[in-house]
Amino acid sequence: MHNAVKQEATMSHNKRAELIQNALPLFYRNGFHATGMDLVAKETGVSKTSIYKHFRTKEDLIRAVLQLRDENFRTWLFGRMEALSDTPKGQLLAMFDALEEWFLEDKFQGCMFIKASAEFQSKEDAINLQSFDHKRLLEDHFHNLAAEAGYAQATQLSRELLLLKEGAIVLAAMSHSHAPAMQAKRMAEVLLSETN
């Protein structure tokens, strides 16, 4: 009996994970408010009744999707930065090379967290707060790399690099061009050479 309950819980967990995985590209492509639960059910093949067994509200599903996106994006970005350079300073610059790779993808449509914060604008909104947490985690990583590279002003530098990164993403999405990645990289090179 215990094994049957455990197996059912595992299946339920797997279905939940699969639902989140399949809902992510839907929200990314169509936006959060424009993607209704009927569409989620249709596109994922999961009934609305089953969706609501796993998620009390649509907002709960959105938060789970954003959590997955955060994990996936940071794993990808930090992995690419490490693959492209073996020094902390080099990795900070390699971030922009990784961004260019992303901008060149057919499915690139900007930052999911910027979109989420634009649709859920209240500073008290859990989705807005979660979106900003993603940016804070990126900034923390940049800060650690800047400190490892010996920059005394690591906090200020990490914020400025985050600004360059975010600006490049917005302009790449709006202009449908990968050019902002290298434009931001050139600015980052100046910033890293002038700081300290």
Buried b (16+ CB within 10 A) or exposed e, 82-93: eebbeebbbbbb
Placement of tokens 């010996």 in the chain = 150
Instruction: For residues 52-73, give the mean pLDDT.
Output: 96
> Residues 123, 117: contact at Cβ < 8 Å?
no
How far apart CA 153 and CA 146 sit, in angstroms, is 8
Tell me the CATH number at 23: 1.10.357.10
Which residue range(s) make up the domain with 176? 2-194
Residue among 132, 113, 137 nearest 32 (CA): 113
How far apart CA 21 and CA 107 sit, in angstroms, is 16
Q: How many domains does the chain have?
A: 1
pLDDT digits (tens, 9 = 90+) for 159-192: 999 999 999 999 999 999 999 999 999 999 999 9
The predicted pLDDT at position 7 comes to: 46
Residue among 26, 28, 29, 98 nearest 37 (CA): 26
Instruction: For residues 88-92, give the mean pLDDT.
Output: 98
Ranges 43-52, 55-64, 82-91, 127-136: which has the least confidence: 43-52
Residue 93, C-beta contacts closer than 8 angstroms, at least 6 positions apart: 85, 185, 188, 189, 192
Burial class, 28, CB count within 10 angstroms (exposed 0-12 / middle 13-18 / buried 19+): buried
The predicted pLDDT at position 3 comes to: 52
Say whether pLDDT at 105 is over 80. yes
Report CA 117 to chain centroid distance, whole Å: 12
Query: Rounded mean pLDDT of the chain?
Result: 93
Instruction: For residues 122-143, give the mean pLDDT.
Output: 97
pLDDT band at residue 2 using 50, 70 and 90 as cut-offs: low
Per-residue three-class SS string for 69-100: HHHHHHHHHHHHHHHHCCCHHHHHHHHHHHHH
> Residues 90, 189: contact at Cβ < 8 Å?
no
How far apart CA 185 and CA 189 sit, in angstroms, is 6
Say whether pLDDT at 148 is over 90. yes
The predicted pLDDT at position 5 comes to: 43
